[in-house]
Structure 1
Amino acid sequence: MAYVITDACISCGACEPECPVNVISAGEDKYVIDADGCIDCGACANVCPVDAPVQQ
């Protein structure tokens, strides 16, 4: 499994520095996670103010 960032993302950027494997980046409308590199740690979900990252 991996995390994905849903449309609830408000592009605040809180998740990006928390990712220990640096697979989160800013997209056009929201941040995105490279699912191939995600280690399913949940660090992004723990800091997101709108619960945008979810396990897929």
Structure 2
Amino acid sequence: MPGVRCRTQGERFRGVHPGRLLYAEGKLFATGPWADGPGALLVFAVERAELEGILEDDQQ
């Protein structure tokens, strides 16, 4: 589903976490929690402009 943004995918595939969709598309390379506190490391395999769009959609 190239060109479909994270938020649209989450709405289209109700109940599927957007991170799983990004991983399946090869856009999210790896994730993991920080060992010493809240938060996580996310490693994306996309250009900066696309990453900014993904992060913006995640905050809505």
Query: Which category describes the TM-score, using the shorter chain as reference length?
Result: under 0.3
TM-score, normalised relative to structure 1: 0.26
**Structure with higher RCO (Cα < 8 A, 6+ apart):** 1
TM-score, normalised relative to structure 2: 0.25
Which one has the largest radius of gyration?
2
